[in-house]
Amino acid sequence: MKLLDFLKRERKKSASVAKERLQIIVAHQRSQRGQPDYMPMLEKELLEVIRRYVQVDDEAVNITLDSEDNCSVLELNVTLPKS
């Protein structure tokens, strides 16, 4: 019986792993939902410009677009490496 329980618990995992993975990816998709189509391109080009001067990782640049009532704020956050 214990063996059966063990096997069953092992199997239970796959659906809950699926759920966890989906929750993360869907949250990420939704955060990008309202943003304009040019954002990925803008992000890429900004990164290129920054890299002309400083060598930074992809993760060191964080770009967010927040919309409030009638204005949008583009926030660019760059973590520069220690020189």
Partner 1 sequence: MAKIIVVTSGKGGVGKTTSAAAIATGLALRGQKTAVIDFDVGLRNLDLIMGCERRVVYDLVNVIQGEAGLNQALIRDKRVDNLHILPASQTRDKDALTLEGVETVLNTLNKDFDYIVCDSPAGIERGAQLAMYFADEAIVVTNPEVSSVRDSDRILGLLASKTRRAERGEDPVREHLLITRYNPNRVDSGDMLNLEDIQEILAIKLVGLIPESEAVLRASNQGIPVTHDEASDAGQAYADTVARLMDEEVPLRFHEYQKKSLLSRMFGGGRR
Shorter beta-carbon distance to partner 1: residue 29 or 77: 29
CB 61 within 8 A of CB 55: no
Site for partner 1 in 15-34 (CB under 8 A): 15-16, 18-19, 21-23, 25-26, 29-30, 33-34
Q: Cβ contacts of residue 55 below 8 Å, gap of 6+?
A: 81
**Is the four-CA dihedral 7, 9, 10, 15 of positive or negative sign?**
positive
Residue 15 half-sphere exposure, CB side, CA atoms within 13 Å? 4
Shortest distance, position 63 Cβ to partner 1, whole Å: 19
Q: Name the residue nearer to partner 1 (CB basis): 26 or 74.
A: 26
Residues that bind partner 1 (CB under 8 A): 8, 11-16, 18-19, 21-23, 25-26, 29-30, 33-34
